Amino acid sequence: MSDIIYTKVDEAPELASASFLPIIQKFAAAAGVSVGIKDISLAGRVLATFPEYLSEAQRQSDDLAELGRLVKTAEANVIKLPNISASVPQLVAAVQELQSQGFALPDYPEAPNTDEEKAVRAKYDSIKGSAVNPVLREGNSDRRAAKAVKSFAQSNPHRMGDWAADSKTCVSSMSGGDFFSNEVSATLANEATAKIVLVTATDEIVLKEGINFPAGTVVDATFMSATALDAFLADEIDKTKADGTLFSLHLKATMMKVSDPIIFGRAVKVFLAPVFEAHGGAMAELGVNPNSGLGDLLSRVEGNAAIMADVQACLASRPPMYMVDSDKGITNLHVPSDVIIDASIPALIRAGGKGWGPDGKESDTNCVIPDNSYAPVYDESVKFFKENGKLNPATAGTVQNVGLMAQKAEEYGSHPTTFEIPVAGTVKMILDDGTVLHSHAVEAGDIWRSASTRKAPIEDWVNLAIDRQKAEGYRSIFWLDAARAHDAELIAYVRPILEAKGIAAKFEIMAPREATRASLETITKGDNSIAITGNVLRDYLTDLFPILELATSAKMLSIVKLMNGGGLFETGAGGSAPKHVQQLVEENHLRWDSLGEFCALGESLTFLADAKGNEKARVLGNAVDAATQGILDNGHSPSRKVGEPDNRDSHYWFARYWAEALAAQTSDAGLAAHFSPIAEALSANEEKIVSELAAAQGPAVDLGGYYHTDVAKTAAVMRPSATLNAIIG
């Protein structure tokens, strides 16, 4: 096993890896550090799942499963880049691309009938959504802006949109019938095995059985009423029309792979209600599935003039929609994975509450977040900025995050205990001793879900928070709502630990709405805070605050201290940036910023030095920090526009600053001697290298694929400087 594992992923970060990884491997080898690759990309996971359909040469190892075993050991040292959490349209597109490349994969069965189709569908469903992170995250999360990154943002503040006190932008969520209002939770005193059944008037349907819970596990259950959801959506459409704002739906149909595509589909159906009422049967025959979005619907009905006319008439009568791409007519409801709440709402807040409308202009927006569990965070943020005006990045403090996520903690909707109810009845979670732990009366179409959080990760999370508070001394807040069933169970863990250590006074416990305002007030004054949160809020806040503070969440330092002693170093949030890929293909300019990778690399090397006693790795890690500082201080981050420096330029400068720092250090004479000629070559050839990189930009490029690119073609695009390649190797 390699000393460090670097993950192969998707889209922009994977394209950047084609340029950056050779540099890492070249430099690491000088310290006796091996850097291996494991493929957790969507295409790679698809291929690994269906070996029986492939030739021997086409088969691919199950790298995700292998990494899942590794992260449970003290040997783990993994640099994890953002991967695609696939929605159904993305998964189908990836499969079709692989088929076109000669991989004889089965089609994705939209409506499986035979046992074989059901088995294929089950395999594909295991790849959907947030299938990677729950496997790898065997520890809790420590996310924060590196000091160099925060300092640079304060010295070079990004543009923030102005907020108007009378802005009509608002956040709307359900007042009842949602996951928040229906939640029940209990902590198990003993180890137990459970099953989930749906008891109907005539039958008992087993939805899931053999669920094992260790003692001390917090087990939740809840459901969203389909009737209440439809009524809420219809009301919000009418309200948006009356207010003259944009209608926008904000979900996470990637991570919440079961629940949110269904909610998204119901929104499509309610928005086009007259069309479904008039043409439901004909649309079903054409294969229309509202869960796949308006874009898929339009492509299926475009040959039917009557349906198309009614669709256009309906859209014209509805409020204008928040747009993904107004130039191309791509709306909020086109594709379920296009509008991801943790990125979309912070971007709108940063823009002064404005979203892009179909006319290509910015407008106030109704941000519809059906479930009320975490909507108050965004609602309070909007209210705060209406009252106080935009945040000033030059003076703002920072919000760090300690997130509970180990061992699939709070994996709402990402796992096989979420169900769309087929018929009215009562869903029961029954323990092996016959105890009915949770029970809900449900109707057909309701979405029922359960999640669990184990004792060991909770205790580890609290102790990590204690360590971070001690290290920083910042205001530290547990974002837990005593009035919410799940949070109340967590508080019952948190308080005794803090009290036993005699440090309860150093921490506050607040519901998310109150914690949001307290944190915004704190950073507005230039002070700092630590948000100690559950899994979903970890995901949301590590986009919200970085986007406000730094303009992006891709630059966050993200350390996962694995519970069995290893380390997982995530390259920040920010997704996998499909628009960046589009620009590269069209203009050969990649604006992806690898700053997150730089930060993760430095932490990984330092961790390796501590774990293995490799002092050369420590020297490399210290030099990474110097190189990162050089990138920031000298303005060598990628530009957004073609013809200006891009991701590949930043990698040249990073390699140069890294080599120069290694040549200049005095801790290891051998490394200094090794890197001196490399530093000299990179410096002496600056003009030639920069010109070769610049000359590559402009023309469209062929990567040989989107989800499964051609290695040689991608390398040629991402390593266009022959001079730099000769130095790096």
pTM across the whole model: 0.88
pLDDT score of 489:
98
Work out the pLDDT band at 413, boundaries 50, 70, 90: low
Which residues are CB-contacts of 96 (< 8 A; sequence separation ≥ 6)? Answer: none
| Measured distance CA(530)–CA(532) in Å, rounded | 6
Residue 67 DSSP class: H
pLDDT digits (tens, 9 = 90+) for 300-335: 999 999 999 999 999 999 999 999 999 999 999 999
pLDDT for position 148: 84
Tokens representing residue 122 in the block: 């089950």
* DSSP assignment of 130-168: S-SHHHH--EEEEEEE-HHHHHHHHHSPPP-PPPPTT--
pLDDT of residue 552: 85
Instruction: Tell me the average pLDDT of the chain.
Output: 95
Whether residue 39 lies inside any domain: the answer is: yes
pLDDT value at residue 254: 79
74: CB partners within 8 A, 6+ apart: 564, 565, 566, 611
The structural domain count of the chain equals: 2
Q: Indicate the pLDDT class of residue 414, thresholds 50, 70 and 90.
A: low
When mean pLDDT is compared across 151-165, 198-212, 519-533, 549-563, the lowest value belongs to 549-563
Q: Pick from 371, 391, 411: which residue ends a domain?
A: 391
Residue 493: per-residue pLDDT: 98
Is residue 543 one of the residues assigned to a domain?
Answer: no
In this structure, are 570 and 714 located in the same domain?
yes
Is residue 408 over pLDDT 80? yes
Please give the Cα distance from 714 to 41 (Å, whole number).
Answer: 15
Q: pLDDT tens-digit profile of 501-523?
A: 999 999 999 999 999 999 999 99
Helical H runs in 318-368? 341-350
145 belongs to a structural domain: no
Q: What is the pLDDT of residue 572?
A: 66
Same domain, 134 and 250: no
Report whether pLDDT(25) > 80.
yes
The reply to whether 237 and 382 lie within a common domain is yes
> What digits encode the pLDDT tens for the residues 438-469?
999 999 999 999 999 999 999 999 999 999 99
Quick one: pLDDT at residue 571?
Answer: 87
**Cβ atoms < 10 Å from Cβ of 586:** 13
Question: Does pLDDT of 337 surpass 90?
Answer: no
Determine the 3-state secondary structure of 425 from DSSP: strand
| 126 three-state secondary structure | coil
Q: Is 193 helix (H, G, I), strand (E, B) or coil?
A: strand
User: What is the structure's pLDDT at 87?
Assistant: 83
Compute how many other C-beta atoms are within 10 angstroms of the C-beta atom of residue 339: 23
Q: Among 391, 419, 437, where does a domain finish? A: 391
Query: Cα(10)–Cα(5) distance, rounded to whole angstroms?
Result: 16
**Is 573 within 8 Å of 543 (Cβ atoms)?**
yes
340 lies in some domain = yes
- Comparing CA positions, the residue from 490, 484, 435, 480 lying closest to residue 458 is 490
pLDDT of residue 687 exceeding 90 = yes
Instruction: Express each pLDDT in 342-398 by its tens digit.
Output: 999 999 999 999 999 999 999 999 999 999 999 999 999 999 999 999 999 999 999
Which residues, in sequence order, are bridge partners of residue 154? none
Domain that holds residue 620: 1-83+130-138+564-729
Are 368 and 251 within one domain? yes
**CA neighbor of 43 nearest in space, from 96, 79, 6:** 96
584, 720: one domain: yes
CA atoms of 13 and 634, how far apart (whole Å): 23
- 351 and 246, same domain (yes or no): yes
Q: Do 228 and 60 meet the contact criterion of CB atoms below 8 Å apart?
A: no
What stretch of H or E contains 429?
strand 425-431
| Residue 257 pLDDT level (bands cut at 50, 70, 90) | confident
Question: Is residue 117 a part of any domain in this protein?
Answer: no
Domain boundary among 358, 391, 424: 391
Cα Dmax for the chain: 81
Asked if residue 91 is part of any domain, the answer here is no
Give the amino acid at 231: A
Structural contact between residues 233 and 266, judged by C-beta atoms closer than 8 angstroms: yes
Percent of the chain with pLDDT over 90: 91
Are 237 and 356 in the same domain? yes
pLDDT in tens, 539-564: 999 999 999 999 988 788 889 999 99
Domain presence at residue 113: no
229's tokens: 């959801």
Structure tokens at 436: 């009915």
Q: What is the pLDDT of residue 601?
A: 96
Task: Tell me which residue of 517, 491, 495, 520 sits closest to 505, measured CA to CA.
Answer: 495
pLDDT at 111 over 70: yes
What does the DSSP 8-state code read for residue 327? G
Q: Is residue 423 domain-resident?
A: no
Taking CA atoms, 19 is separated from 590, 648, 703, in Å, by 11, 7, 14
At residue 130, the pLDDT reads 77
Q: Comparing 177-181, 252-256, 571-575, 631-635, which segment has the lowest mean pLDDT? A: 571-575
- 158: how many CB neighbours lie within 10 A of its CB? 14
State the pLDDT at residue 110. Answer: 86
